[in-house]
Each structure stands twice: as structure tokens, then as C-alpha cells.
Amino acid sequence: MSESTAPPKTVLLRRGEVHSPADPFATAMVVERGQVAWVGSEGAADAFADGVDEIVDLDGALVTPAFTDAHVHTTATGLALTGLDLSAAPSLEAALALVRDFAAARPGDRVLLGHGWDAARWPGGRPPTRVELDEATGGRPLYLSRIDVHSAVVTTALLDLTPGLGTVDGPLTADAHHAVRATALAAITPAQRTDAQRAALARAASLGIGTVHECGGPDISSEDDFTGLLRLAGEEAGPRVVGYWAEPAEKGIVKARVLGAVGAAGDLFVDGALGSHTACLHQPYSDAGHTGTSYLDAAAVATHVTACTEAGLQAGFHAIGDAAVTTVVEGVRAAADKLGLARIRAARHRVEHAEMLTPETIAAFAELGLTASVQPAFDALWGGEDGMYAQRLGADRARTLNPFAALLRAGVPLAFGSDSPVTPLDPWGTVRAAAFHHTPEHRVSVRAAFTAHTRGGWRAVGRDDAGVLVPGAPADYAVWRTDELVVQAPDDRVARWSTDPRSGTPGLPDLTPGRDLPVCLRTVVGGRTVFVRPGE
């Protein structure tokens, strides 16, 4: 019997802090048959001590629900962990040096893979040329995705392996990018792919992530990649994997069911990304004379949403620019006119990223019951007066991006994620990014951000009974070493009672920028331990 199929132990955790709405002052918890069985005080814990398989002395540690990362590309994350990572390269010259060293160290790789370059942060602001990459690799095939994964630079040798492209200079976008990415990923052996997936899931578990939503699709990975990941997650102890497959309409519905996906959703592209000038805008980019790229129109959105709703599956779309978000809203509303608003709301369709919103589209999300699957780390990385958003859009438009507070006020369900490897798996950093957004009016409380990154991910897949430590909920939790707990509001506009300990609101770590983030000591999924920090 494998570790992932053996019956989970009955465990008593005690002498810590348990983050639970069932008891805001709880210090102990009992887990039985993979579920939370009881939450309460230390004094009452003695009654359970003789009837459990294991007692965990928390020694003051904090227990929280495990995080859910609602948007992950697992294999790409693993390849970034095990391959060439250019996200920290401070300049073009430094990036080329890293490419040169990587190529020399991997003489046996059929195709060299790297990720994370961001020319917008480099002096001079230009990406590497094909000629420079040819020189750095000695003429070998190389694929280097930009940090947003919506464009890439490649070598001549990779172009030669890709049918129909010929010789192309500059970053590749849209169909050309999809073609070279397919060529590059096809060179990965099944063993390399499994190793990458295992590395990504292990990293997630070490960060207190109990569930990831894999956003796959024919333009992103492959069917073998998707089914291999779901199989791996089912056979080995680790985070849960919920799969979405991004292919439109009836074909997407059939594929989703055959492949084991919960929806024809995720990165079904309506547009691209801001950094690559491919997000679709109503008004032109400030630093380019065009409005980006549109992949689907409102009629196509309506067809997909209608088909998915009738089939009992979630639909979902990748939409970043304001024109793309408008397209989604118009399409979903057309589907609601055909099927009825109640059926559309009940289906809990999703929009990934949803960065450029207006008061009108926020109200439409609330009306249509759309979940906003968003990535606060995008603002931390690209927001601010001098960030990439301001370069692409100008400061005024940039300040409107990622309006988390307005979404919450409107009643739009939020599910937080990383879009890893675009930004790293980093759940507490994600909560911090939402609570300390570059634009103050978009900030939310730590408690609201934490909820969006735990319970929000479960609600995004239709589960309202999980992501919280109460009796009957799945025993997905993490144990943390952290400093004193507080109830942290973003600013003085939040009602004072919510920050008063007498309110009975469970505390969370102080995430003020500059303070150390909590350290994960243990992660448990369905009552089974999937990570223990060495030495603990």
C-alpha cells in the first residue's frame, strides 16, 4: 500500500495557535479520516489524547488551512526550478552570460530551455537578438520565454526545427510563439517532464500549498503533460492537482472530460499579456502604436460559455486588457440571455488575471457570478510609478490595475494564485502583495487576502466546505513558525472593531513589508503529511 493510499492517521495537534472561525482562540485540533474532527482549547484536548495515533506538540506554532494556488503551470514551474532561470538577471549582458554557462553545462540536452527574462527591467530595455543567442549557445536550439510567458526569443537552430516559420528576428508572439514552444517542449523526455512536475509539487508542498489549479491546454503544454501530471498527483503524496483544459466549445468539453479536467477553462486566451504588448486594450499602448492582440470575440465567448453551462462544466478565460475583459463580459452576458442568469451564476465560470477592470466590468462580474482568479504578485513586480505597467500604459491607467478592494466590495469571489512560473510560488508573499498593493485604494486586509488564497481557491472549483479549519472540512493544513499574530487592516478606513482582539477575529502573521514571512514546518493534505521541514 503506497503512502498516498494508506489510511490517514488520527492526529491530535496541541499547544499552538489554530486559525479557525469555529474557535478564534483555539490551540488544538483533531484530524480523523482525512477530515478536521474537532477544534478547541488546550484544556479540552486532554480528552482526545488516548484515542489518537499521533500527538503533535506544536510548541506555539500556527496552524492554518493549506493554501490553494489557483493558477499554476506545473511542468513549466518545475523546468524553471531545474533549468535556466533569468528572472534575476540585472542586464542583457548578465542574461547572455547565464545562457552561455547553461549551454556549456548541459551538452546532452536536445533543446535548451530557459525562462524569466524581462527586458523592461534592463538598462537599454532590449531583449537578446537571435544572433547573440546563436553565439551564446554555439548554434544549439534554445527557447527562452519572457517572464509573462506570452513571448519568447529563440535561436536559429530552434526556428529550423519549427515548420513554417522561416527566419524571424525579435521576440515571437501569438501563433509563432505557440509553434516554437511546442517544438521546444516536444524535445523534453517523459522522464524530464515527470522530474519537473515532481520538483514543482515538492516546492509547493514546502510552502504550505495543499492544492494547485493546473491551467493546461494545447497552446500551453500537451495532453500527455496534463494527464501525466494528474496521474502523478494521484499516485504520490503531495498537493492536490485540479486540472483545467483550455480548448473552446464542444471540442474543449470533450477534451476536458477525456483528460480528467474539471472545466474547459484556465488559459483559454482572449488576449495576451501587457509585458509582451499582446494584452488587448481599448486605447493604444503608451509605448506602442497599437492596442494588442485579440484571440476570441464576444460571440466565441458566448458559444463556449453556453456549451459549458449546458454540459455542467466550468468555462473560463484568460483576459488581461480592458478590451479583452469587456469581450468576456459581453459574451457571458449573451450566454445568460440565452440560458438564464441563474444557470450562468450557478456554474461559477472563471476569468484568469482580469487586470484591467472598470466599475462597469466589476459590476458585471458580480452580476454574472464570475470568479476573478487573480495574481497579486503581478502588482508587486510590475506596479508602481516606475514599473512595467506605467511604461506600457502610462501612470494614470497603470494605477487602475488589479483593483482587489473594489472587486471585494462588489461581491466578486476572488481566488489568488501565482501564474507560476510567471511569478514564483509564494503564498504569504501573495497575501502581502494584496494587502500592500502599490495603489492604496486597491489594498485589502490580510484576512481577506488570506481567505482568497485558501477558501477562495476551493470556492473557485465549486467547494464551499473546504479551505477552512472547521469540523467536517478536508484536513488540508500547514504548520508555521511565525512571530506574534495580529489582525491587520490595510489602513484606517477599515472598521476599528475588526482589529480589536476582543472581536474574536483569529489573528494572522504580521506581513508588514520588511518583516520575515512565516516558515512552513509541515504541510498536510487530506490528513496525510506531504512535507516536513528538515530538522523539525
The model's pTM is 0.91
Residue 490: what pLDDT?
59
Residue 502: what pLDDT?
44
Q: Which of 268-277, 461-470, 486-495 has the lowest mean pLDDT?
A: 486-495
Kindly state the cell numbers that stand for 412: 466578486
pLDDT digit string, tens, across residues 375-386: 999 999 999 999
pLDDT digit string, tens, across residues 17-26: 999 998 989 9
Provide mean pLDDT across the span 450-479. Answer: 97
Task: Using the predicted structure, report yes or no on whether residue 147 has a pLDDT greater than 90.
Answer: no
Provide mean pLDDT across the span 8-22. Answer: 94
pLDDT digit string, tens, across residues 79-91: 889 889 998 899 9
Split at pLDDT 50, 70, 90, the class of 535 is confident
Split at pLDDT 50, 70, 90, the class of 536 is confident
Task: Using the predicted structure, report yes or no on whether residue 143 has a pLDDT greater than 60.
Answer: yes
Split at pLDDT 50, 70, 90, the class of 497 is very low
Residue 8: what pLDDT?
86
- Whole-number percent of the chain with pLDDT over 70: 96
Residue 504: what pLDDT?
61
Q: Which of 70-79, 118-127, 182-191, 415-424 has the lowest mean pLDDT?
A: 182-191
Q: How far apart are CA 536 and CA 533, in angstroms?
A: 6
Kindly state the cell numbers that stand for 108: 546532452
pLDDT digit string, tens, across residues 280-314: 999 999 999 999 999 999 999 999 999 999 999 99
Task: Using the predicted structure, report yes or no on whether residue 170 has a pLDDT greater than 90.
Answer: no
Out of 3.30.1370.60, 3.30.930.10, 3.40.50.150, 3.20.20.140, select the CATH number for domain 190-461: 3.20.20.140
Question: What does DSSP assign to residue 125?
Answer: -
pLDDT digit string, tens, across residues 31-45: 999 999 999 999 899
Task: Using the predicted structure, report yes or no on whether residue 236 has a pLDDT greater than 80.
Answer: yes
Residue 126: what pLDDT?
92
End-to-end Cα distance, the chain: 26
Residue 448: what pLDDT?
96
Task: Using the predicted structure, report yes or no on whether residue 494 has a pLDDT greater than 50.
Answer: no
Report phi then psi at 152, rounded to 5. Answer: -155, 155
* Average per-residue pLDDT for the chain: 93
Give SS3 for 443: coil
Report phi then psi at 279, rounded to 5. Answer: -65, 140
Is 373 or 483 the better-scoring residue by pLDDT? Answer: 373
Q: How is 83-116 classified by DSSP, letter by letter?
A: SEE-TT--SHHHHHHHHHHHHHH-TT-SSEEEEE
Q: Which of 47-51, 61-65, 228-232, 345-349 has the lowest mean pLDDT?
A: 47-51
Q: Which of 94-98, 165-169, 226-230 has the lowest mean pLDDT?
A: 165-169
Residues 6+ apart with CB under 8 A from 225: 75, 185, 193, 216
Q: According to DSSP H, which parts of 7-73 are helical? A: 42-45
Residue 498: what pLDDT?
41
Q: How far apart are CA 259 and CA 244, in angstroms?
A: 9
pLDDT digit string, tens, across residues 212-228: 999 999 988 899 999 99
Amino acid at 278: T
